[in-house]
Structure 1
Amino acid sequence: MSDSTALSAEDLIAQYGGIALDKQNDLSALIGNNNWNADLNEGVISFGDQLTFPIQILGTFSHSSETFLWGWANTQSNIPENLLQQAAQLKAYGEAHQLPLFTTSQFDGSVNDVHYIGLIASGMFDASAYYVADYGSGALLVTIQSDVIDKTRTDAPQRVLTVFPQLISLFEMDHQQALSSYLNAKAFQVTTKDKELSATYNGSTIVATFDELSRLASLNGTLS
């Protein structure tokens, strides 16, 4: 995570949201319908008997109060400090760049906000994925780092055509900036001219156009 350029939360979701949401597809395919189980003493989350991954804890969401509590502010749960490193780094980043999202210990929100934070953190820390572990009264937000997940990653160009529209339907952002960042992260060669973007990767081409507000107008692909 670089502090060289101050970014707003909207900039961050545009920069990291696409590739992070892409990674969620890989995690979902890998864990299937397995239930989760977290062991904070070991610092891991498990899905069934075969899949166990190291985690970092970002925070918790309460369904009843509809509030998000950052892990660094959750003194009652005695979360091991080594599992709060990323949460602490996000707080420091927020303090340096005046981002209340990362510095307000507890705030009103929705499950959508939990995913918003998860996507940003997953991208900023180059995590394998994030996971919202629902335990009934609330949910635990974690990032996951595992070679097992990384090795299942698909670079299929056609995924862009489904993931990107999903991303911009969920969150406000600069669509042109977000698509360019997503395609760069997937190793496309990206060219932009005014409100047009073209990108190529291994013989596949994606072309997009945007309106005067940088909102997506069209997205098409010629995929090999």
Structure 2
Amino acid sequence: MSNRPELLAPPEIFYDDSEARKYTSSSRIIDIQAKLSERALELLALPEDGIPRLLLDIGCGSGLSGETLTENGHQWIGLDISQSMLNIALEREVEGDLLLGDMGQGIALRPGVIDGAISISAVQWLCNADKSSHEPKLRLKAFFGSLYRCLARGARAVFQVYPENIAQRELILRSAMHAGFAGGVVIDYPHRYARPLFRNLMMGFSGLMRRCSEILFVVYKVFAWL
């Protein structure tokens, strides 16, 4: 597991021009991103009334997941910390609005303006202290707190994450709950070696349910990492 990208360098360093272009040109990555984004959109459970929604794609990268949102008729805002990734998104002329920013410092959007949020393989990066000023608990608190505020009442956020261990898993879930989120965990295609971990996760999370208008679904897809 030593080659997990979040253990090699901060995201804005790891996804430089070369890595961002390689990532976006991989047919395997494109296929995986499309499938995960479709699944996230399905779990958002948006009303089937034909009205386009304004969605937030957190860790949007070069816009691969955003393309799925566009294809399904929605408008979207993409947030990413890698300028190289966003440059390629601009080259590809994606239809979303792109923001350069660190989600660990909070999301600077007006309260209640977002109808739903997705994030593919991004949130676990907040569990690492890449700088001396980084404290994972505080960064997760800033992220989930600001996300909760910018979501419209009753909106959902769907994350696909791959925590390194149980401690990271629990840190992410606790941070979401403390921000006011409630919801559940969906496990897709777990590998045989991961089943005990996910069984414990489901049992532990069910006792943390709270009543609130926004619901957080954390989607775990154990395919290693993108």
Q: TM-score, normalised by structure 1?
A: 0.30
Which structure has greater strand proportion? 1
Higher normalized contact order (CA 8 Å, seq sep 6+, divided by chain length): 1
Which structure has greater helix proportion? 2
Name which one, 1 or 2, has greater alpha-carbon Rg.
Answer: 1
